[in-house]
Structure 1
Amino acid sequence: MQTGIGKPGREQAELRHGDSVTDEFHYSDEILADDLADAPQVWRVLVVDDDPDVHASTRFALSGLRVVERPLELLHAHSAAEALVVLERERDIAVMLLDVVMEQEDAGLRLVDKVRAMPGLQNLRIILRTGQPGYAPEAETIARYDINDYKTKSELTRAKLFASLTAAVRSYEQLQRIEGGRRGLAQILDASHQLVSQEGLEAFAAGVITQLASFMGTQPDGVVCARKDEQETGSGAGYEIVAAAGRYSALMRCRPEALTGDPVVSLLRQCLDERRNVRTAHGISLHFPANGASFAAYVDTGRRVPEVDEQLLQMFCSHIALCGRNVKLMSRLSELAFRDQLVGLPNRVSFLQEVERRLDAGEEGLTVALVDIDHFGALNDLLGHRYGDMLLQDVARRLSAMAAGMGAVARVAGDVFGLAGSDALLGAERIAALFAQPFEIEGGEQRISASIGLVRAERGGDAASLLKDAYIALKRAKSEGMGRCAYFSPEVGVETRERTRLLHGLRDAFQHERLFLAYQPQVDLASGRVLGFEALLRWRNDDGTFVPPDRFIPLAEQSGLIVPIGQWVLRSALHVLAVLDREGFPGLRAAVNVSVVQFREPQFVESVDRALADTGMSADRLELEVTESVCVLGQESVAVQLGALTRRGIQVAIDDFGTGFSSLSYLDRLGADRLKIDRSFVQSLEQECGGARIAEMMIALARRLGMRSIAEGIETEAQRQRLAELGCDEGQGYLFGRPMALDDFKAWLKAWQPGIA
């Protein structure tokens, strides 16, 4: 084959087809092995030809030439198969001088097809050479295989070979720069995504070091300096080092003015003062502009930084600066997501993560506790939200002091705190002791108690399951009274599941009309005249058994189901009044119990109005019985709602007075019509004890406030007589009649004679 290139020297001619693979590609003479460490960058060219003379002549022709300011490094292969070995081992080959006809007539084109499918070789430029013009590829073949040039060997003089190589190298360089730009953009976006999620200035600054080093292909060995206030002036004013790495770690938290002799600090200050990037022989300092607080980042490479595309570098700085502006926002969002702002403790989400972490670590004796302030809602409404907030903050401080360094404390709900730690730390008695001393709030003392639910992690499980079990234990503790504690056990879990089953059954009973009203008469104690009835809710199963009201009424209140049930009770009771009017028992009143949950409904008064209007009953025929717990929701709001009811002529009775938060002040302000004496005081009338004296005082109090008194649970004539002697106005109980179905109640009304029990 003809080469068109002058005769090679003796040492080049010694290359022969069939030498070992390691001998088949060599560095050019111009780059000696001893000088490789200090050698400048080169363009690597792979010569693929089955003619040894072509290798030698090409080597000779390109000797000493520089293409696009770099020398050439030649690699050699004598067949398409050997070329594949070279391409798989070597990287950064810019150009391949490829013979078309080798072991087969189209071996060169077949090699091109394989090369274009190999990863990382898409930018390799290919110059086809052939000594047989008849085997020249068609134009469409050249386009298909992305071939840079095609020459016959006879026309490839030294000058033309240099020209073809120069064109191919320039094309390769441009493709590499485009590829580098694409990778740079991807790095910028990746850096932005990572940095924008950093929490706090120091984490952000440390991330800048890492991302900048990655972008430049160096190890993170630098320092970041932030200028806090660009309005400050003076030597060193406003500068602070916020993150450092590698050999500069000692600079962390030092103020730059204390390091005036350090060249890195001087470079950072120059970068910030001049608001521009500064390159040196050993690294680079970049300026990241921001509003109010600029950043400068220095990375020490130990050598001159390779050229970085200025537009990419500027884009990198702009993106990082934008991330810096979002650091405070992200920190604030993280704080809102994981910390309770009122008491400064972790919230429920953070608490679950901490419990999960302790479980994963296999912490021995791990216990989770929930602490619920008893009757906090009533205190909060009675004394004001500001007072309640201060109480929560004081409780948080006591719990944190107890668990300091050993346990985790969080606010997991409104007045519920979660604790996680060893069983010895979170003993029920130890937690309860925190509430033995009163809390000082606004110069006064406030005594409170707390219910405590605990669960040991000995059963395993995850954090969510432990917290759920702790809530089950807490409910058990609250059901036993104030200031009680309970541990979760399988039995407690069974009881809770039973309550859940009961709640589902209650919903089903309400929907399928298995709830009904029973009517208990209320009479005048002096004359025996029937004044009306109290409507009492009952639940009868399909098998005829009854579910006690003290089991399902609390469930209805806790679930909110009491609201629709309460509306149904009210309408049913008013409807019965209309039925009794028609059947010859006119003028009776209906007493209906109203739950705390119902009273909290904003539209409660309007719902009462609609019920009266729909049944055609006058307001004075209805009496609403409210408990003390309703009254302590907040005197102002209660007074407004009760005032609206009484102005309509609706009568109001205070039920269970003396059994809870008894307060004489609210009785005087609410303007209720009746004070209802609990059965526990009535039962003590026949025994000269404190209960009898309380009943006597309550009757006198009602009279003093212009209210009528009504006693419930009267079972004997002696009790009735004693109540009458004390001046009690009305009464109800088994002495007069049990709660009855409507037909039985009508029969009772027909048979009742005043004065006969």
Structure 2
Amino acid sequence: MTNTHYDNDELTFLDEDGSRSDHVAPGKFWNVLVVDDDEELHTVTRLALSQVVINNRQLRFLHAYSASQARAILSQHGSQIALILLDVVLESEDAGLTVVKYLRETLQLEEPRIVLRTGQPGYAPEQTIITDYDINDYKTKTELTRSRLLTTVITSIRSYQHIVTINQSRLGLQKIIDASANLLEEHSIKAFCEGVVIQLSSLLGLEAEGLVCAKAGSLIDKDANTVYVLGAAGDFANLINQPVTRLNNAAIAENIQRCLRQKTHIFDDGFSVLYLNRAGFEAAVYVNLAHELSDTNKQLLEVFLSSIAIGYENVHLFQQLRNAAFRDWLTLLPNRNEFINLLEKPAAGDPLTKVVALIDISRFSDINDGLGQDAGNALLVSVATRLSSFFEAPVIKARISSDVFGLIGPAEKITPEQINSLFQSSFQALDHTIPLNVHIGFYEIAQQGDSGLDILKRTNIALNRAKKHHHDNFEYYAPEIEERTTWQLNMIRRLRNDFADRKLQLWFQPQIDLTSEQVVGVESLLRWPDEEGGFIPPTVFIPLAEYSGLIVDIGQWVVEESCRRIQSLNQGGYPGLRVAVNISMPQFRDRYFVQKIKQALTRFECPPAQLELEITESVVMDEPQIVIDALTSLKQFGVAIAIDDFGTGFSSMSYLQRLPLDRLKVDRSFVNDIQPGKSAVIAETIVSLGIKLGLCTIAEGVERPDQAEYMKQLGCMEAQGYLYAKPMPFDELTAYLESHTG
């Protein structure tokens, strides 16, 4: 606001030549509303006051000739009117008082001052009306000579200035209180800094116009070393979050930067730049000054700045805390939490269809392990920089996890072609030039409503599918993908519960000596009962068990249950029968796998040779050395080893020779090739290979006598299949053995 010292030269007049005896602020006026139904009174008032300058401002007149016209002007300009000269009697005896009531009660404006004028003394308002409606003065028109009118006007405007200053001070304090109470809100910095400007202006009796500037640092998402406008009031309000170089006034920008460089206040003609510092958090506060500050005001500013600096430190610290929660510390991009928030908050002007993308850097852990974490961090910064420079606003960029970046933007911008083009050239990380491959998951947001977490989950589902592709590196989310995933998770949950409740069953299929046609062993086969009296196929639940990691516990249970059945068979009069158990790759990865097998054999007092472990070629080829080492140890302990489904994979003969095998199982697909009058070349080759390696061979899936005879003629020693027996529970197995033992 303007200067609030009124002791000297409050009232001046224009000289006859038009010059002013005191400086008049250009574009600044005191607005005075004259309300009277007498045209002559309007003219007289205007002439009497037209040359008056009060505190560097002239008077500007607004005219109304009825109560209705006055209300219309007040509804539009009421907050800018300093004084109302109001006739009590207009259209009716109390029309003027209805204007007063409208101003105070309807518009809720307490700042404009009111002077009632009347040509009929008998219509004077009651004392309660003067008090209740905050009326400054009441005069008859004959009393208001020019000198008395001037006195009334100057005292009324002085009163108006005091009220405005008090209210402005209250507003500034409230801004700071609100900012302090809502430090975690999005605009806490802006609100706090705007409050600082308003409060300073109130203290100095200035217009609420100024700037608070500082280096961006952690306060806003800008270049940390550039000075930005953090908060502003008045004509500067539209510059918030803009660099000070955007100011139209180069002198203001230079003085703000000089204040921060010199770390001191700058008091100059027409302006001041105040230095704010607390715990290393610096800011410069620019305010317009119409006059030089007194020593008293400067001391007052020092006290105020010392107090307000604590609030600035708190704002800064809370902003850092917010950044820690919602900003990635390395790339300074939004993190996963903020990405989810942004998915839930559509920005103004968002396209009808937006696309979310998750970009996963392939084998990033290898880069970290091989080149070091510093190189890995530098690479992530390089990726973030390229994403930010390529995808400009409105595309949102974020770092979701260690090596996963996220994008949100219009469908025409967020495409596989656009993203893949970014990764065609290598990235620089310290002294290393590193090419990168990525997988990308996409999700189209056709309409708002879904939670950010659900959108992120669906995009991640698409990303996981993309990682399984061999031809493309991307996948768009489709509802059936989530349905499949949901089904998979439900099945895993059911499997886990049923396994814990011991609902899984172990069935057995006999294995026959082709020469003697006697039972020489059985294969353990896992069965999972469904809720309708049937069984869920192993081709369905075994992959689920492997995916969930439950296969290790289930596999160990199968081993222990098989050992228990071996013990039962030996004690029940069927000694020497071997029991074959399938072993998966996750079991081999268990560091205690070999130890657990030995413990199960010992616990049930089983001869190791009666337990046969079956592995597939794919298991061997997954991690050959782990498998070879484990099987060699178990073979030395006496356990038998068989390779299942032989010939269906891509075997390496070198690994085959290194495996401590006892038996080759000819896959059922090759046995099915046996037709009358035709040769089954692959089956012949496998049996021949087994004989040359000194291994027993067993044919799977034998269903017809001619298949059994053919395999026997090739030199195959054993068989299993529906020709002899289907898989059966253990109780049925003992009955079968009793009827088939000669």
1:99 aligned residue = 87
2:591 aligned residue = 639
Distance in structure 2 (CA, Å) of the matches to 1:270 and 1:487: 53
Which one-letter code corresponds to 1:639 in the other structure? R
1:286 aligned residue = 274
1:552 to 531, 541, 547: 541
Following superposition, the deviation at residue 504 of structure 1 comes to 4.8
Assess if the C-alpha contact under 8 Å between 2:38 and 2:65 holds in 1: yes
Distance in structure 2 (CA, Å) of the matches to 1:567 and 1:139: 99
Residues 12-60 of structure 1: CA distance to partner in whole angstroms, max 9, x if unpaired?
xxxxxxxxxxxxxxxx985999779973565444343445676677678
Structure-2 change in CA distance of 1:217 and 1:740 (3 Å): same
Structure-2 change in CA distance of 1:245 and 1:320 (3 Å): farther
1:81 aligned residue = 68
Which one-letter code corresponds to 2:233 in the other structure? F
Residues 625-677 of structure 1: CA distance to partner in whole angstroms, max 9, x if unpaired?
4x444445xxxxx4367557756846896844633211169726995454733
1:676 to 641, 653, 667: 641
Structure-2 change in CA distance of 1:694 and 1:505 (3 Å): closer
Determine if the alignment matches structure 1 residue 39 to structure 2 residue 24.
yes
Distance in structure 2 (CA, Å) of the matches to 1:29 and 1:384: 81
Distance in structure 1 (CA, Å) of the matches to 2:587 and 2:241: 64
Residues 336-366 of structure 1: CA distance to partner in whole angstroms, max 9, x if unpaired?
28959xxx99989879999x99x98999xx9
Assess if the C-alpha contact under 8 Å between 1:521 and 1:732 holds in 2: no
2:220 aligned residue = 198
2:246 aligned residue = 245
Determine if the alignment matches structure 1 residue 176 to structure 2 residue 164.
yes
Structure-2 change in CA distance of 1:361 and 1:93 (3 Å): closer
2:204 aligned residue = none
Assess if the C-alpha contact under 8 Å between 2:281 and 2:316 holds in 1: no
2:506 aligned residue = 517
- The alignment-based identity, stated in percent, is 24
1:474 aligned residue = 466
Determine if the alignment matches structure 1 residue 749 to structure 2 residue 737.
yes
Instruction: Tell me the matched-pair count.
Output: 611
Following superposition, the deviation at residue 745 of structure 1 comes to 2.1
Distance in structure 1 (CA, Å) of the matches to 2:274 and 2:38: 53
Assess if the C-alpha contact under 8 Å between 1:221 and 1:248 holds in 2: no
1:18 aligned residue = none
Residues 47-100 of structure 1: CA distance to partner in whole angstroms, max 9, x if unpaired?
434456766776788798776787666655443234335545656332223332
Assess if the C-alpha contact under 8 Å between 2:614 and 2:643 holds in 1: no
1:537 aligned residue = 527
Which one-letter code corresponds to 2:625 in the other structure? S
Distance in structure 1 (CA, Å) of the matches to 2:656 and 2:514: 15
Structure-2 change in CA distance of 1:176 and 1:663 (3 Å): same
Which one-letter code corresponds to 1:551 in the other structure? V
Equivalence map 1:312-711=2 (5 Å): 323=315, 335-336=327-328, 339=331, 386=369, 393=376, 423=417, 426=420, 467=459, 470-471=462-463, 473-474=465-466, 476-477=468-469, 485=472, 501=487, 504=490, 516-520=505-509, 534-538=524-528, 542=532, 548-559=537-548, 625=583, 627-632=584-589, 638-639=590-591, 643=595, 646=598, 649=602, 655-656=615-616, 658-663=620-625, 667=629, 671-672=633-634, 673=637, 674=639, 676-681=641-646, 695=656, 697-699=658-660
Assess if the C-alpha contact under 8 Å between 2:552 and 2:586 holds in 1: no
Which one-letter code corresponds to 2:730 in the other structure? L
TM-score (norm 2): 0.58
Structure 2 residue matching 1:111: 3-state secondary structure: helix
Assess if the C-alpha contact under 8 Å between 1:522 and 1:730 holds in 2: no
Distance in structure 1 (CA, Å) of the matches to 2:654 and 2:481: 39
Structure-2 change in CA distance of 1:489 and 1:748 (3 Å): farther
Structure-2 change in CA distance of 1:75 and 1:453 (3 Å): closer
Assess if the C-alpha contact under 8 Å between 2:229 and 2:241 holds in 1: no
Assess if the C-alpha contact under 8 Å between 2:270 and 2:292 holds in 1: yes
Following superposition, the deviation at residue 114 of structure 1 comes to 1.8
Residues 131-183 of structure 1: CA distance to partner in whole angstroms, max 9, x if unpaired?
54543333443343333344556776777766655553333212211332344
Following superposition, the deviation at residue 198 of structure 1 comes to 0.8
Assess if the C-alpha contact under 8 Å between 2:88 and 2:116 holds in 1: yes
Determine if the alignment matches structure 1 residue 207 to structure 2 residue 229.
yes
Distance in structure 2 (CA, Å) of the matches to 1:360 and 1:104: 56
Residues 250-295 of structure 1: CA distance to partner in whole angstroms, max 9, x if unpaired?
xxxxxxxxxxxx997578546754x543232243323121434634
Structure 2 residue matching 1:199: 3-state secondary structure: coil
Structure 2 residue matching 1:750: 3-state secondary structure: helix
Distance in structure 1 (CA, Å) of the matches to 2:506 and 2:587: 23
Following superposition, the deviation at residue 126 of structure 1 comes to 1.8
Residues 680-706 of structure 1: CA distance to partner in whole angstroms, max 9, x if unpaired?
44899xxxx98777555422xx7xxxx
Structure 1 residue ranges without an equivalent (≥5)? 1-27, 225-241, 250-261, 435-442, 478-482, 594-624, 633-637, 703-708
Assess if the C-alpha contact under 8 Å between 1:503 and 1:552 holds in 2: no
Structure-2 change in CA distance of 1:81 and 1:474 (3 Å): closer
Assess if the C-alpha contact under 8 Å between 1:520 and 1:535 holds in 2: yes
Structure-2 change in CA distance of 1:693 and 1:217 (3 Å): closer
Structure-2 change in CA distance of 1:517 and 1:349 (3 Å): farther
Which one-letter code corresponds to 1:245 in the other structure? R
Assess if the C-alpha contact under 8 Å between 2:508 and 2:733 holds in 1: yes
Distance in structure 1 (CA, Å) of the matches to 2:729 and 2:118: 112
Distance in structure 2 (CA, Å) of the matches to 1:104 and 1:135: 11
1:621 aligned residue = none
Structure-2 change in CA distance of 1:369 and 1:507 (3 Å): closer
1:480 aligned residue = none
Assess if the C-alpha contact under 8 Å between 2:442 and 2:462 holds in 1: yes
Distance in structure 1 (CA, Å) of the matches to 2:383 and 2:240: 39
Which one-letter code corresponds to 1:39 in the other structure? V
Distance in structure 2 (CA, Å) of the matches to 1:94 and 1:298: 27
Distance in structure 2 (CA, Å) of the matches to 1:131 and 1:423: 84
Structure 2 residue matching 1:122: 3-state secondary structure: coil
